[in-house]
């Protein structure tokens, strides 16, 4: 993830196509409840005015670099699309027509898959990006983009790095290795039918 950009604009038509390609990601029940809203370089400042507050923009050491992104993609989901889909006759027996019935809300899962697909497409095309979490101001952002009935999953900031990135303190944490987080299930007599 890159958190300081050089203000190089991303071609909006190319970005729209990349988002459409990323939406080939799996979608539960073919609900198609994930949306991607693209914001060009000319609207990045306006986006940050809604997605942050004046204090953050003034005090965060990352604010200047992030605000020079060449584009932003807002990934949203529509839980209502999943509830409607799982109320249809071929899915009704799942019992997932109510939001509270979902042990894992797949609108989040589908949004994550589409976001990962977009991040990989951006990297393949030579762009840098950062996944900027949705921690606050989501209602203001959704109102601004004209999607008040959607749920903001995350923002993807895109551009070219300027070499002034602020290193994340999270990188200093001791965490299990990637290899240690993979577990192969071995066949044993207790597991055979």
Asked if residue 135 has pLDDT above 80, the reply is no
> What tokens appear for 139 in the block?
């209602």
pTM: predicted TM-score of the whole model, two decimal places: 0.91
> What tokens appear for 33 in the block?
């409840």
- In the chain, domain spans: 12-165
Asked if residue 193 has pLDDT above 70, the reply is no
Asked if residue 137 has pLDDT above 90, the reply is yes
Round to whole Å and give the CA distance between 113 and 28.
11
What percentage of the chain carries pLDDT values higher than 90? Answer: 88
Q: Return the exposure string of 66-90: e unless at least 16 CB atoms fall within 10 Å of the residue's CB, then b.
A: bbbbbbbbbbbbbbebbbebbeeee
Residue closest to 160 by CA, chosen among 28, 29, 41, 27: 41
Average pLDDT over residues 163-179: 90
Longest dimension (CA), the chain: 63
Asked if residue 191 has pLDDT above 70, the reply is no
State residue 170 phi and psi, 5-degree precision: -60, -25
**5: DSSP letter:** B
- How big is the CA angle at 119 (ends 173 and 138), to the nearest 5 degrees? 80
> What tokens appear for 105 in the block?
């809300």
- Average model confidence (pLDDT) across the chain: 94
Residue closest to 129 by CA, chosen among 158, 165, 155: 158
The hierarchical CATH code for the domain 12-165 is 3.40.109.10
Asked if residue 61 has pLDDT above 70, the reply is yes
Asked if residue 134 has pLDDT above 70, the reply is yes
Average pLDDT over residues 111-137: 95
């Amino acid at each position: 993830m890159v958190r300081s950009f050089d203000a190089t604009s991303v071609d909006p038509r190319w970005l729209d196509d990349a988002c459409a390609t990323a939406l080939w990601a799996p979608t539960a029940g073919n609900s198609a409840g994930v949306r991607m809203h693209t914001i060009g370089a000319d609207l990045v400042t306006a986006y940050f005015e809604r997605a942050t507050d004046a204090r953050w923009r003034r005090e965060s050491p990352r604010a200047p670099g992030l605000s020079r992104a060449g584009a932003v993609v807002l990934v949203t989901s529509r839980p209502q699309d999943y509830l409607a889909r799982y109320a249809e006759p071929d899915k009704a027996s799942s019992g997932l027509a109510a939001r509270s019935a979902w042990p894992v809300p797949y609108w989040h899962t589908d949004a994550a898959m589409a976001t990962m697909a977009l991040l990989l497409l951006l990297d393949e095309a030579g762009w840098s990006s950062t996944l900027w979490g949705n921690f606050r101001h989501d209602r203001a952002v959704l109102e601004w983009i004209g999607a008040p009935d959607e749920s903001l999953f995350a923002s993807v900031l895109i551009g070219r790095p300027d070499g002034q990135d602020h290193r994340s303190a999270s990188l200093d944490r001791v965490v299990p290795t990637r290899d240690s987080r993979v577990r192969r299930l071995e066949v044993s007599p207790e597991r055979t039918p």
